[in-house]
Structure 1
Amino acid sequence: MEYRDWEILKVLYSQKNISKAARLLFITQPALTNRIKNLQEELGVKIITRESRGVHFTPQGEYLVHCADGIIAQFNNIKEHIRNMNNDAGNEITGTLKLGVSKFFANYELPHILKVFKDQYPHVEFKVITGWSKDVTQYIHNKDVHIGFIRGDYSGRGLKKHLLFEESISIMSKGAIDIADLPNLPRIDYSGDYLLNTLIDNWWAENYTQPPLISIEVDQVDTCKEMVINGLGYGIMSNRMLKDIEELEKYDLTDQNEKPLKRRTWMYYHKESMEGNVVKTFVNFIETLELGKHIEK
């Protein structure tokens, strides 16, 4: 067995799904399936069985997964120690960082962050996995990534975290509207993050007895914004979407005490990950950035 095989088993066990595991491993589904087949032939045992609900591990497969954590940890410690020896000798920071990033953060913040960081540390490489914040939270908990960038206050038990910025949640429309009449106005709705949807739904329930009048449903917040810009209805989204848009009216959501509703974006990582120079350097770099200064208008 090769080192990669142990990593494959660990990720596949955590996901119980071939397609999701392949995505996390940055390989194709056929390549992953073929590797498992070859591994079973090499060991002479059945490791997994594929069922309608996903992948099931045999007792032999369970045992291999149990061994994988220790083998991977030992290999990574050796690799990191060697790199740290080079770094301590005055060489450039080198290595590969695995980042789990919410879709919104990946589109609007991450490219600039990586550009500035790569200018300072050109020998650091990145593998980036995007998804909903709840999925990214699971990636970091499972140690499938070194660092996670997550929107919303998801559970970070056992993790170190750093607040990057806060955003207001706002109603946006092409022209002025009467907030009291909101249930009768056409709304553009989109598939948002679970916690954001809950925040908006709770605010609505506290202020109206009628359900919203959903005139158009879309799957992306960017599409919703464009629909609003074209006067097809109002939308409810984070203030970040309003950056550099002057032609729209904005109404911030507030709680019962008239305090603005906020959505936070966090950086999560494991404390022990800071023993590696690459992770430590990147975390320290992020903590010095002022990501939130351009968010609020």
Structure 2
Amino acid sequence: MKIQDWEMLATLYATENITQAAHRLFLSQPTLTSRLKKLENYYGVQLIIRKQRGITFTPEGEQLAQHAKKMLYEQRKIEERLHNMKEQVAGTIRVGVSNFFALNKMPKLLRLFKQSYPNVEFQVVTGWSSEMHRLILNNDVHIGFIKGDYVWNENKDLLYEEEICIASPWDFTWKDLPDLPRIDYYTDEKMRSIVDQWWYSNYKQTPNINIQVSQVETCKEMIINGLGYAILANLVVRPYPELIIKPLQHPSGKAITRKTWMYYHEDTLQLNIVHAFVRFIQTLDVKAL
């Protein structure tokens, strides 16, 4: 197989959809289908089964897809080693970034880093912190910027800690909170657990959620426009002094906080590009950006 075949199989395996895979690979569907058919003819086996929605791999296809993923990983490693032998900071660094960090911090960090290292390119994947944790565990990215504490036995640096708070367009008392209109948003399981645990430790009633949105940024705009309060991380609403912001607290009176970390593997520091980027982040006050 050629590297293009590895990429095709790995992408098909990840998406389980020919249309999505063709889009990711910048191919037409007929071209991808033709290449897949040639591969099946070469090995003399059927690799996929078409379903009403998407595809599934045959046992033979599953074996070949796993081989393709392994070969792509080995290809990336040898390319990185060759770049590293040049003793210069160049090449591509792969980064997994939680959604809020990607929107509010990452563009500035990349711009500042490229000012010092213009020959560096970035592959950035964004999503929930749980997804970024999985990527760094599987070595799919060099570095993960992740909110919350996940199981991790290698290197991680604390970038900042922020309070979880109530943000409201009007003043309120804690006892009235269950009756006030609340705006909710989709978030990762760890943040949801923090919020729910605090709520049901303080109130018997369920919250009066009358607006549900998909992104925390949309939620913020709803608050600013006077449609309700929300429970979110302080950094989201810190730039808006017109809002009433009160931190959540443990029974002890200590503020409830959430940490943002930089996760990375020790062995990736052998790569000049990763070593330079990690050291660059360690010198910054990321929270203040």
TM-score (ref. length: structure 1): 0.85
**Which of 265, 269, 273 is 2:268 aligned to?**
273
Measured after TM superposition, the shift of residue 27 of structure 1 is 4.6
Corresponding letter in the other structure for 2:86: N
* Aligned match for 2:278, one of 283, 292, 295: 283
Pick the aligned partner of 1:227 from 210, 215, 222. Answer: 222
Shift of 1:23: 9.9
* Residue type of the alignment partner of 2:177: L
- CA 1:97 to 1:116, structure 2 compared with 1: closer, same or farther past 3 Å? same
In structure 1, give the amino acid aligned to 2:16.
N
| Offset at residue 123 of structure 1 (A) | 0.6
Question: Which residue of 245, 258, 261 maps to 1:263?
Answer: 258
SS in 2 for 1:144: coil
Pairing 1:162–2:157 present: yes
Q: CA deviation at 1:228?
A: 1.3
Contact 2:16 2:56 in 1 (8 A): no
Gaps of 5+ in 2: none
The answer for the alignment partner of 2:46 in structure 1 is 46
Q: Does 1:111 align with 2:111?
A: no
How many residues are paired up?
Answer: 288
Q: Is the 8 A contact 1:16 1:56 kept in 2?
A: no
Contact 1:24 1:129 in 2 (8 A): no
Unaligned runs of 5+ in 1: none
- Quick one: which amino acid aligns to residue 40 of structure 1? E
Cα 1:264/1:246, change in 2 over 3 Å: same
Number of the residue aligned with 1:83: 83
Alignment of 1:173-188 (within 5 A): 173-188=168-183
Alignment partner, residue 17 of structure 1: 16
Secondary structure of the corresponding residue to residue 233 of structure 1: coil
State whether residues 190 and 221 of structure 1, in contact with CA within 8 Å, keep that contact through their aligned partners in structure 2: yes
How large is the Cα RMSD of the aligned pairs? 2.7
Equivalent pair of 2:50/2:56 in contact (CA under 8 Å): yes
Aligned-residue offset at 1:42: 4.0
What SS does the corresponding residue of 1:164 show, helix, strand or coil? strand
Matched, 1:241 2:236: yes
Which of 182, 207, 230 matches 1:212?
A: 207
Q: Which residue of 1 aligns with 2:187?
A: 192
Residue 86 of structure 2 aligns to a residue whose secondary structure is: helix
Range with greater deviation from structure 2 (66-75 or 254-263):
66-75
Distance 1:145 1:83 in 2: 17
**Matched AA of 1:190:** Y
1:155-185 Cα distance to aligned partner (Å, 9 max, x none)? 33x5432221111011011121111111111
Query: Match of 2:84, SS?
Result: helix
Aligned to 1:56: 56
Whether the 8 Å CA contact 1:101–1:150 is kept in 2: the answer is yes
The residue type equivalent to 2:225 in the other structure is: N
String of CA shifts for 1:10-63, please: whole Å, max 9, x gaps: 4544x3633898499665684766654443344332223244686433232233
TM-superposed CA distance for 1:125, in Å, is 0.6
Q: Deviations over 1:177-225 (max 9, x none)?
A: 1111111111111112221111101100000011111122222211211
| 8 A contact 1:170–1:250 mirrored in 2 | yes
Q: Distance in 1 between matches of 2:103 and 2:42?
A: 42
Which residue of the partner structure matches residue 172 of structure 1? Answer: 167
- SS of the residue corresponding to residue 255 of structure 1 reads coil
1:67-113 alpha-carbon deviations (Å, 9 max, x no partner): 345533443343223212212xxxx4111112221111110000000
